[in-house]
């Protein structure tokens, strides 16, 4: 990671802006079934400009929603204090973001004609709320499920990975409780990044989001992360989406991906699935700012939800209720270990599973639940992934491939 730079200015983070002032975008976003798709290529600032120009209206809309529901969503002293804490925590994290990503953030801001600080916040959002633990409990409810099936468990004899990203965001006071979460379901963006000095990768996220939490690279690497409620986090470190993006651009083996996380300064507790198509291997890395454990696939599969399974790491979990995470993990275990080999269609059905394990199970205890924003299935050896947004039941999986 690059060393920290000088303090940012409001316009472009205090970074030297390259001579390039316009992007080389030839096409606009492609409207897919449930999401927008774009491609950006070149140096960091150039990619940012392309991103900001192609998704200008969508970025502005997402920022309006963020201001309405999060920054201005709570009235009075609580709202005033929340806004200050969010901005301050983001500034603590900024110096630990590699320079090339800050340049890209500056490019997005310039291309969309919005403040640099707002794009910075979008890319650090989950890490900021995780560090403001009480604030996070107000605005966020943890979810997410992920799995990997090794070649010996699949019909195609290849690594298959899947993940549901679940994220509930509390709406502004007076709005429908699901308004903010539904907005996120309706505004998913898939971006193919082609950096000049790194591996190409496809990221599933949102307009203006420079890091990644769900991605696959040309090097056949896969990442899918899940937030863990932890007693202690640390703001003076690199936000997790930039660590995962570093894996996408630089790693070509499972070991290299794990090593990047081992050496990083980490802000919060996460589970992250890392898969390597070239090796036919996968593992879940469980970590906090202070500790880390790698849980490799056993018997041809590995899965994770929103709690630690490693005995040493489990002591780091917070005090939030974990029943829904435990039940989702147990259901994934049942599916992954069912008899016979699993096809791509079979793996896709895991992500749509709504079976409750007991009569006391709630709707949050199933894999496809009301907080699910999107589902992603990966076949990294083929260079293919499939995305299905959860804004309405009729959505189908849409195939995404490298250009």
Structure confidence by residue, pLDDT tens digits, 115-130: 999 999 999 999 998 8
From 151, 125, 154, 155, select the one nearest 140 (Cα to Cα).
125
pLDDT for 113 equals 98
The CATH 3.60.60.10 portion of the chain extends over: 140-401
CATH number of 140-401: 3.60.60.10
Q: Please, which pLDDT band fits residue 330 given cuts at 50, 70 and 90?
A: very high
pLDDT for 170 equals 85
Computed over every residue of the chain, the mean pLDDT equals: 89
Tokens of residue 390, six digits = 């959860």
The β-bridge relationship of strands 35-42 and 188-195 is: parallel
3-state secondary structure of 373: strand
Arithmetic mean of pLDDT, 213-226? 98
DSSP-derived secondary structure for 166-221: EEEEPPPTTS-TTHHHHHHHHTEEEEEEEETTS--EEEEE-TT--S-SEEEETTSE
Cα Rg for the chain, rounded, in angstroms? 20
Q: Is a pLDDT exceeding 90 seen at residue 3?
A: no
Q: Is a pLDDT exceeding 90 seen at residue 255?
A: yes
DSSP assignment, residue 289? S
DSSP-derived secondary structure for 61-123: HHHHHHIIIIISSS-HHHHHHHHHHHHHHHHHHGGGS-HHHHHHHHHHHHHHT--HHHHHHHH
Three-class secondary structure assignment of 250-281: HCCCHHHHHHHHHHCCECCCEEEEEEECCCCE
Read off the pTM.
Answer: 0.92
Tokens of residue 21, six digits = 């002032």
């Amino acid at each position: 990671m690059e060393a920290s730079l000088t303090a940012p200015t409001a316009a472009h983070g205090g970074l030297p802006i390259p001579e390039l002032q316009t992007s080389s975008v030839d096409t606009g976003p492609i409207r897919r079934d449930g999401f927008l798709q774009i491609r950006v290529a070149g140096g960091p600032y150039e990619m940012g400009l392309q991103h900001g120009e192609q998704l200008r209206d969508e970025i502005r809309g997402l920022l309006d929603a963020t201001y309405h529901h999060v920054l201005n969503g709570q009235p009075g002293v609580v709202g005033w204090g929340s806004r200050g804490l969010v901005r301050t925590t983001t500034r603590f994290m900024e110096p630990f973001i590699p320079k090339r990503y800050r340049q890209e953030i500056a490019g997005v801001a310039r291309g969309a004609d919005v403040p640099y600080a707002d794009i910075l916040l979008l890319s650090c959002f989950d890490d900021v709320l995780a560090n403001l633990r009480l604030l996070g409990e107000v605005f966020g409810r943890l979810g997410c499920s992920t799995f990997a099936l090794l070649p010996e468990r699949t019909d195609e004899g290849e690594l298959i990975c899947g993940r549901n990203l679940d994220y509930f965001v509390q709406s502004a006071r007076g709005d429908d409780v699901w308004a903010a979460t539904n907005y996120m379901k309706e505004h998913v963006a898939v971006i193919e990044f082609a950096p000049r000095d790194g591996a190409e990768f496809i990221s599933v996220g949102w307009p203006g989001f420079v890091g990644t939490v769900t991605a696959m690279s040309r090097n056949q690497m896969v990442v899918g992360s899940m937030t863990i409620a932890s007693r202690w986090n640390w703001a003076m470190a690199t936000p997790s989406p930039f660590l995962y993006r570093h894996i996408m651009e630089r790693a070509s083996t499972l070991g290299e991906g794990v090593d990047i996380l081992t050496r990083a300064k980490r802000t919060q507790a996460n589970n992250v699935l890392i898969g390597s198509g070239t090796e036919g291997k996968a593992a879940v890395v469980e970590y906090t700012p202070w500790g880390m454990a790698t849980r490799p696939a056993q018997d041809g599969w590995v899965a994770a939800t929103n709690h630690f399974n490693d005995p040493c790491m489990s002591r780091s979990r917070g005090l939030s209720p974990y029943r829904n995470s435990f039940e989702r993990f147990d259901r994934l275990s049942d599916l992954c270990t069912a008899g016979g080999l699993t096809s791509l269609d079979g793996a896709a059905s895991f992500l749509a599973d709504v079976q409750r394990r007991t009569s006391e199970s709630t709707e949050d205890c199933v894999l496809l639940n009301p907080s699910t924003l999107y589902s992603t299935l990966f076949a990294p050896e083929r260079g293919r992934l499939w995305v299905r947004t959860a804004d309405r039941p009729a959505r189908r999986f849409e195939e995404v491939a490298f250009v």
